[in-house]
Amino acid sequence: MRSYSRNVTLGNSNHRLGSTEVGFGGTPSNERRWKKHGARRRMRVSKESMSIRSMNRLVMDYLVGKGYRKVAEAFWRDSATKPHVDLQSVQERMSIQQLLIKGQIQKARGKLATMDPDFLEKNSGMDFLLAKQELIELIKAHNIEDALQFAIKNLAPFGQKSVSLST
């Protein structure tokens, strides 16, 4: 019985694999089958080059979404994958997010107003959520009187505008 082997290139080095290592029994018909599967594999690899671009896009979107500006800039240089948004705006959005996490709702609203003065008018649902969070922060700080006044002044108008926003 004859044994077949195959030269395989992995990276920059060549390897010689025996018949058991390449996954066929060593017969000429299996050799033809291996060549056929090799062609399929090459086609699959060429299709994967498109998915590499998709993967780079996915990674870039993740970095931008999480606010990793410097990493996104480095990834942009290395992969030539341009972000969909201005990376400076990512930094500003992350600073607003940090203010919200710290419970500084008024400061976050102010910063948001400087970025886009009409944002809260165009997004009344977001305006309501921010007002509700501000009420929660007042209650957490045990400022009950201020919380009641805030609710009457800032949240009651939302109830008058739309019942659907009161969830």
Query: How many angstroms from the chain centroid is the CA of residue 64?
Result: 7
Which residues of the chain fall short of a pLDDT of 50?
Answer: 1-5, 10, 15, 17-26, 165-166
Give the per-residue pLDDT at 25.
47
For residues 161 and 49, give the distance between their C-alpha atoms in angstroms, rounded to a whole number.
52
Are 66 and 59 in contact by the 8 Å Cβ rule? The answer is no
Give the per-residue pLDDT at 39.
63
Other beta carbons within 10 Å of 86:
10
Scanning the structure block, which residue is given the tokens 């009420």?
Answer: 135
Task: Tell me the pLDDT of the chain averaged across its residues.
Answer: 78
Give the per-residue pLDDT at 89.
86
What element of type H or E holds 44? helix 28-66
Give the per-residue pLDDT at 159.
78
Task: Tokens for 63, please give them.
Answer: 């970095």
